[in-house]
Amino acid sequence: MNLNLDLEAKIVRLKTIGNIITFKNPFPSGNDGLKIQIIVKGFKKTRDGNVKIIGHAYDSKWYKSINDMIDDVDWNFGSISN
């Protein structure tokens, strides 16, 4: 599935609770090893613009910007459940 979404639509998808997001690059998840998917529970942004997804079982890594996170999402994998 190829999602031709605009920037705002992608941001909404990343912040919608319950969505399953698939990343292109695995990220560390504590002692559980590397993960590529996360179920969205929340979203966190710092004053500096760093962002991460708060997940049900684990969180994503920190990204320097929302654009960096968007670039790391595999939008062609069918990464959106809603």
pLDDT tens digits, one per residue of 2-49: 457 899 999 999 999 999 999 999 998 877 789 999 999 999 999 999
* Max CA separation in the chain (angstroms): 36
Measured distance CA(50)–CA(62) in Å, rounded: 6
Tell me the three state secondary structure of residue 62: coil
Does 55 have pLDDT greater than 50?
yes
Q: What does the pLDDT read at residue 33?
A: 86
Tell me the three state secondary structure of residue 47: coil
Q: What does the pLDDT read at residue 3?
A: 56
- Which pLDDT band, with edges at 50, 70 and 90, does 77 fall under? confident
Q: What is the mean pLDDT of residues 42-67?
A: 96
Q: Is the dihedral of CA 14, 22, 64, 52 positive or negative?
A: positive
> What single DSSP character describes residue 10?
H
